[in-house]
Structure 1
Amino acid sequence: MKTIAYAVLCLTVTACTLVLSNTDSRAQSRSELVYTTAEREPEFPGGKAALSQYLAQNIRYPNSLARKNYSTGPVAAKFIIDKDGSIRDVRITTKPLDKENRKGMQEFMTTIVAAIEKMPRWRPGEVGGQPVAVFYTLPVEVNVQ
């Protein structure tokens, strides 16, 4: 009985290992180089002033956080600007969320992601005169007035 249980366990572990290894190879099949810095950095159409205006128009700070005068602390959007200027892989970093303000902060982060995903195409970064994909970190500052 122990031999059968051991054989089944070994087969299960082997099957799981094969499934995981196949998943990893598919996930890594996109072997594209993404730069952290470029000779010419990516640029939002119209420059930094236009980017600030775009963010102000498209990111909404939840009323639940404004009423509490909640300080979000540092918030940053991290994403990749592809060779064609499109945006992908948007992630938000922030301080740890407390239970009381978690819902409001999640709503805020969702609006940031939505605004970034619908941005117009950027002028891509360049290395050696060629467009390249670049990691980009965009600090999001909140001024509630």
Structure 2
Amino acid sequence: MKRTPKVVLWLLSLTTTLLLGQPKATAQARTEPIFTVVEQEPEFPGGKAALSQYLANNIRFPSALMRKNYNTGPVAAKFIIDKAGTVRDVRVTTKPIKKDMQKGMQEFMKTIIAAIEKMPPWRPGQVNGQSVSVFYTLPIEVNMQ
């Protein structure tokens, strides 16, 4: 009796595959190279000072982490700045997170991603005078003063 659900599910899966064909996975193909080292680095509009101001205005440190004076350790946003200067594929890296701080850190990482995704276009990186896509790592410094 315990075997019946497995058999039914297997038959249902087999029937679906026979009727609909094999499921096909599709992925968006990117054929352009993404550089990690370029002759001219991408630049935020207004330079590093403007970037620091933008981050300070758009990233909020969760009060739950502030109350516990939680040291986030190194935090970095990693993303691609494409040849048009558009930011895409944002990811955030941190040190391992304590279990009791996970909710606050997830909230913090969401604000970082949201702020970076809505950045204005950057001046793209260049190689041989041509704009290229660049993998960029941006350290995020938390100052609780």
Q: TM-score, normalised by structure 1?
A: 0.83
Instruction: Say what the alpha-carbon RMSD is for the aligned residues.
Output: 1.8
The aligned counterpart of 1:96 is: 96
SS in 2 for 1:27: coil
Partner of 1:27: 27
Report the alpha carbon displacement of residue 103 of structure 1 after superposing the two structures with TM: 0.4
| Matching residue's letter, 1:92 | V
Q: How many residues align?
A: 130
**In 2, Cα distance between the equivalents of 1:106 and 1:69?**
16
Structure 1 CA distance, aligned partners of 2:29 and 2:115? 29
Aligned: 1:134 with 2:134: yes
Match in the other structure for 2:74: 74
Q: Structure 1 residues 53-62 or 28-37, which shifts more? A: 28-37
Q: Indicate the SS of the match to 1:134.
A: strand
Which residue identity is paired with 1:77? A
Partner of 2:55: 55
The C-alpha deviation readout for 1:50-71, integer Å capped at 9, x for no partner, is 0001000100000000000000
**Displacement of 1:80 after TM fit?**
0.1
Deviation for aligned residue 1:29: 2.5
Q: Which ranges of structure 2 fall in alignment gaps of 5 or more residues? A: 1-6
Local SS of the residue matching 1:131: strand
Deviations along 1:57-99, one digit per CA (max 9) or x if unpaired, are 1000000000000000000000000100000000000011111
What TM-score does the superposition give when structure 2 sets the normalisation length? Answer: 0.83
Separation in 2, partners of 1:117, 1:29: 21
**Partner Cα separation in structure 2 for residue 106 and residue 29 of structure 1:** 29
Identity of aligned residues (%): 68
Q: 1:107 — aligned with what?
A: 107
Quote the Cα distance in structure 1 between the aligned partners of 2:79 and 2:99. Answer: 27
Letter in 1 for 2:113: V
Q: Which has the higher helix share?
A: 1
Letter in 1 for 2:74: P
